[in-house]
A and B are shown apart, each in its own frame.
Chain A
C-alpha cells in the first residue's frame, strides 16, 4: 500500500448501533497513525495518535487499535449517538518525513 485508504467511504447507522471502520496505511518506515474527527462546519479534532504495534486507545465510547506489521487501524464507536455524526480521518507518517498522508475519510451519519 502506497497511500492511506479508508473504508467504507460513508456509513449510516441507527442510534445505539456499534460501528467500526478501517484505515490502511504503508507499513514500511511507519512512525505514527493519527485519527481525527471532523464535524461539519467545525475544525478537525485530534482523537488519537498511535505509534506502537498492538496499541489500543480509548476516549469515551470511541476506541482504536493499531497493527503496524500489516498496516491497518480500526476505529470503533460503541453505542453510536447522533452527536457522533462526523467525518473520521486517519493519517499516517513515516520515520523519514514529517508529512502526514491523509486518507479520504469515512463519513458517519447516526440517525435517532
Chain B
C-alpha cells in the first residue's frame, strides 16, 4: 500500500541536542511538507519541497532544517536553536505543490517530540 511513514512515533531528547525526524513516502509525489501542531492552534507549515534538491521555508522555519536528496525522503532536523521544540510534527505529500492545492494532501501519522 502506498503511503507516508513517519518514524519514530514518540521521541524524547535532552535540551540542546539536535534531533532528526524521518518522513518517507512511496506515492511518487513530487511535493512534501512538514507541519507542526501545538495545542489550540492549526497546523503550521515549517518547510516544504516541491522537487528533489529544492525546498522553501514555511511560516515557522526558524530553528529547523531539512534536506531533499531523494524524492521519497524529506527528513526534518530540529536544532538546538528551536526555542520550543516540544510539539507534534506531521509530514505530508502531494502530487505537486500546485496539484496538491486541487487534489489534497496525504499525511503521515506524526511524531510527538518531547524535549526535556
Contacts and interface: CB of A to CB of B under 8 A. Distances in A.
Interface of A: 3-4, 31-32, 34, 36, 41-46, 49, 51, 89, 91, 93, 98-105
B82 to A, nearest CB: 20
B48 interface: yes
Given A43-B108, A43-B109, A98 B100 contact: yes
B42 A102 contact: yes
Nearest to A99: B45
Given A99-B48, A104-B42, A105-B42, 18 more contacts: A32-B101, A36-B104, A41-B109, A43-B106, A43-B107, A43-B108, A46-B104, A49-B103, A89-B43, A91-B43, A98-B48, A99-B59, A100-B45, A101-B42, A102-B35, A102-B42, A102-B43, A102-B44
Given A43-B108, A49-B103, A51-B102, A103 B42 contact: yes
Interface in B70-116: 90, 97-98, 100-110
Contact of A31 (B31, B43, B59, B101): B101
A4 B42 contact: yes
A93, A100, A104, A105, most chain B CB atoms within 10 A: A100
Interface in B29-59: 31, 35, 40-45, 48, 50, 58-59
B66 interface: no
A104 B102 CA distance: 21
A101 B44 CA distance: 8
A85 B43 CA distance: 20
Given A43-B107, A46-B106, A99-B58, A93 B101 contact: yes
A67 B100 CA distance: 21
B4 interface: yes
B109 A32 contact: no
B105 A46 contact: yes
B43 A49 contact: no
Interface string B1-12: 001100000000
Nearest to B31: A98
Contacts of B45: 99-100
A43 B110 CA distance: 7
